[in-house]
Amino acid sequence: MAKRIAIVEDDPDQRANYADAIIKKGYEVVSYGSRQEARDCMAEELPDLVILDIILGEEVDAGFQLCRELLSKSPSLPVIFLTERINEIDKISGLRLGAWDYLPKPISLDYLAERISSLLRINEVRLENAEQESSSARRIGRLTLDEEALLASWRGHRIDLSGTEFRMLAKLVRAPGHAVSYATLMNATMQSLVTNNTINTHMRNIRKKFERVDADFACIKSEYGFGYRWTLQ
């Protein structure tokens, strides 16, 4: 499945040029013109890599703020700053936030596309090595789950889960084939005032994230009135 690249850039012409170059490399592209739009659209599902301008509209540090928010959800997410702000202080600030690269405008579109490909390859190798080296990683069929690093992958593709979603999934797959009650899943959320409908919503979101990387995914089964079951696929 094609990797998904997000572009956050307030100039529509530049945004379109970047998107065209990246699509030609075989990637899927989503683009946003403001921090709020990007934040709202990436709230449930993160892309495989994000390209951020720093100044977005009237917000002079919007890219920095968005980077901080995204990496708080997924510390391993590759982020590239692409900006006209090229002074040393800004570069240091961007890299300290956790960005993987800091590129100046204007930029060769061919170079940008190749840089994205390079960082994605590096990230794939890093994730594979992390899975192999971590003593806490375990495999359940095609699922790999690392409860120390809070990393989940399906058939080699990373699944970006929130902390709550990860804990629920870990509880669900602890005994494949056995039904897990709503009460057990509620405890896994570590939240108060959780209802069956809340659990159902979380499970729908988890299913969608798996289905995004595998349209035939069907391991999560609903047990009407009781809870859910993980079946091996």
Q: What is the mean pLDDT of residues 127-137?
A: 61
Q: How far is CA 144 from CA 1, 109, 150, 154, 193, in A?
A: 18, 36, 11, 6, 30
Q: Closest Cα partner for 196 from 169, 227, 165?
A: 227
CB neighbours of residue 97 within 10 Å: 16
Identify the CA nearest to 63 among candidates 43, 36, 88.
Answer: 36
Q: CA-based Rg of the chain, rounded to a whole angstrom?
A: 19
What is the structure's pLDDT at 207?
A: 95
Which residues, including other chains, have CB under 8 Å from residue 34's CB and lie 6 or more apart? 8, 10, 56, 57, 59, 62
Give the whole-angstrom CA distance, residue 197 versus residue 67. Answer: 32
pLDDT exceeds cutoff 60 at 170:
yes
| Mean pLDDT value across residues 172-196 | 88
- Among 15-24, 106-115, 127-136, where is mean pLDDT lowest? 127-136
Q: What is the pLDDT of residue 151?
A: 86
**Average pLDDT value for the chain:** 90
**If you search the block for the tokens 């900006």, which residue do you land on?**
83
Structural domains of the chain ordered from first start = 4-129 (3.40.50.2300), 137-230 (1.10.10.10)
- Among the residue ranges 6-10, 80-84, 118-122, 216-220, the one predicted with the least confidence is 118-122
